[in-house]
Structure 1
């Protein structure tokens, strides 16, 4: 499924081929958890959330964190693939298509990032570890768990195809299930899934192979892969690059989106900018987590200075070695940054916070290439995910009202 990369510099606002689909431009809304799926079902608020940037001109939006299993959710009000969720997801894809944009489903399993106190299911990890969200031990994943979760990724991809998604993005980052197996600090197994990188990469490669066999050629297949975890014990760039090369050789991808950081070990390594510890603590349902974050949150949520295209230099190592089409994520906010990404050989750019601040930013940039984003990278949008993601910097905005599933509207 891999395509040779072309050295010519494309216009970021021009149509582009992504596997079997064509996007109207090369700008993708990155997956950012919306917090708008009460009882794990689509709400009108969730549809409106994705309509805003697609009406604002992006080529494709990504619906975040659609778990392949109940225990694969990060928290209870998160969509997981099952028959009850399909009608709402179909309504979502049909609504997005009316705008002329494409829509991708981010599919994954949270693994040790799950909060068992919320989901009421044990969180799964490669090796014994404590779950700091649920304040209880994670359950060590068995070989049967790995086989089941691999199969469930394929089944989820088929359901995504059947309800109208144009693409699937498989989550191999942030120390979710597949990423936790890649991380040598989290994966201390002694069996065929631990030890060498070749062993630790078996889950990620197996998941991608299963998804490719299930829907390859019918929808575009992307993977979101950590370049590094942002922790000494985590995966580093050299091992991640080798994993990416194996994925390319396997031929299971239409594009690779690079990310970094660990939801377990160093969450703000992904975002850069402000560290809203107080706001995160306030939004924790567990009083012990609230207290813990207030006391030691500054050590866990380390602050990193924001700069445009902050993953570019690291990602260049992957661009030089890979022929796969690639999506550049991280600090893409204006036309200059988009053009730089294209010049450096990236095929698409992904945007998150800037589109939350201004859903119509792409229309503004198309009309005036000198348009500057109004996002200040304060990250105060991040703690809002628990009750419905929004940008607190928008003048006059109030927290959205609690969403209702479409089935009861």
Structure 2
């Protein structure tokens, strides 16, 4: 098996190959959190680029719990015409498209919500985030209902499915972590209690949508924090999720405090940037599952991707940054015209020599440029790209708050 082979998901949907554009923070929504034309145009280019599956960036189910002001939100106040246009653009070139549904929880910026709802009152150890309020029993039920509502809107709008975000420290991920989830009721303590929120969301969504609608989950292979959600627990939760009827599980790792999934080379002195840095964690999860597994993080060489698939460590290859550097690289990689995905970050300085988040922010600036102009500008310096994105989010937040006041 190789990256060019199709894959049939448990619900019967066929993916034409094994390349997936994983979720990224597009930050292209307008002040009402609706998709913009730049957003729609960008997904049309990605769809024409050869990948089998596209996953939108973090799409909140609750507009007072955003990852950032530029998120596109899926709820009854969404502009369904624009949402449907985004779904159609993602499918226009032959790809399938999923909406990544999320609730930011304690990772909601303070400027948007100073007292966000979370699983506990454990605050994010970073500036710019407020003290969270632990969810009540009634609020957990409301959160589950919001995921269901958004999934049904996605289905009605023409998306092929949803990916429920239970990774990277957002609400469902926080609930899994014993370091963050300090509850003593039925939502905390033992793993089956900490997993309850994610499982109840998946169960409710799966029941509400058509059996042919894809339901996937993004799960941390580990939080990579002392006392956090670990790999052994990830294997157990993956098995629980499979029992609820998910079509595939994507594994990644880390959160805002420990941004493992977002770094390129974390330490100075590194001589080589390691590819597929979550693949070693995939083996135990893959061996415990009958459903497909997707691994995201660091894949660049076709031979590494093919080896990962042929050896049975993963079924799908998730990539993000290569789709920013070259919107149409996937078709050339699949045809053999190129043997490696774009790897612009291999020449960047190590992350510990740069401002926090500089590389991630540089890529986010490139997404914005690609959406507006049709192509990135890889000549922009890291620092300039970083500063540009910070300014972009500042302006987006100001516009969002002004629109809400109106």
Say whether residues 1:36 and 2:28 are aligned partners.
yes
Larger RCO, structures 1/2 (Cα 8 Å, 6+ apart):
1
User: Counterpart in 2 of 1:293?
Assistant: none
1:128 to 121, 127, 131: 121
SS at match of 2:98: strand
User: Counterpart in 2 of 1:52?
Assistant: 45
User: Counterpart in 2 of 1:389?
Assistant: 367
Does the 8 Å CA contact 2:48/2:93 hold for their aligned counterparts? yes
TM-score (norm 1): 0.82
SS at match of 2:250: strand
User: Counterpart in 2 of 1:16?
Assistant: 7
Cα distance in 2 between the residues matched to 1:53 and 1:218: 23
Does the 8 Å CA contact 1:34/1:388 hold for their aligned counterparts? no
User: Counterpart in 1 of 2:69?
Assistant: 76
Cα distance in 2 between the residues matched to 1:218 and 1:375: 36
Say whether residues 1:63 and 2:31 are aligned partners.
no
Offset of residue 133 of structure 1: 4.4
TM-score (norm 2): 0.83
Shifted more, 224-233 versus 18-27: the winner is 18-27
Offset of residue 339 of structure 1: 0.6
Does the 8 Å CA contact 1:20/1:219 hold for their aligned counterparts? no
Cα distance in 2 between the residues matched to 1:390 and 1:36: 7
Say whether residues 1:162 and 2:146 are aligned partners.
no
Cα distance in 1 between the residues matched to 2:264 and 2:368: 17
Say whether residues 1:341 and 2:308 are aligned partners.
yes
SS at match of 1:130: coil
Cα distance in 1 between the residues matched to 2:303 and 2:220: 25
Shifted more, 380-389 versus 45-54: the winner is 380-389
1:225 to 186, 198, 219: 219
Cα distance in 1 between the residues matched to 2:253 and 2:152: 28
**1:249 to 1:367, Cα distance in 2 relative to 1, 3 A:** closer
**1:96 to 1:128, Cα distance in 2 relative to 1, 3 A:** closer
The two structures, once aligned, show a CA RMSD in angstroms of: 2.8
User: Counterpart in 1 of 2:236?
Assistant: 242
User: Counterpart in 2 of 1:189?
Assistant: 183
Shifted more, 235-244 versus 336-345: the winner is 336-345
Consecutive unaligned residues in structure 1, runs of 5 or more: 1-9, 276-297
Does the 8 Å CA contact 1:115/1:133 hold for their aligned counterparts? no
**1:59 to 1:199, Cα distance in 2 relative to 1, 3 A:** same
User: Counterpart in 2 of 1:175?
Assistant: 169
User: Counterpart in 1 of 2:354?
Assistant: none
Shifted more, 192-201 versus 354-363: the winner is 354-363
Cα distance in 1 between the residues matched to 2:46 and 2:29: 19
User: Counterpart in 1 of 2:343?
Assistant: 375
Does the 8 Å CA contact 2:329/2:342 hold for their aligned counterparts? no
Shifted more, 41-50 versus 196-205: the winner is 41-50
Deviation sequence 1:62-110 (CA, Å, 0-9, x none): 1111111122211233222223332211011112222111111000111
Q: Tell me the matched-pair count.
A: 367
SS at match of 1:38: coil
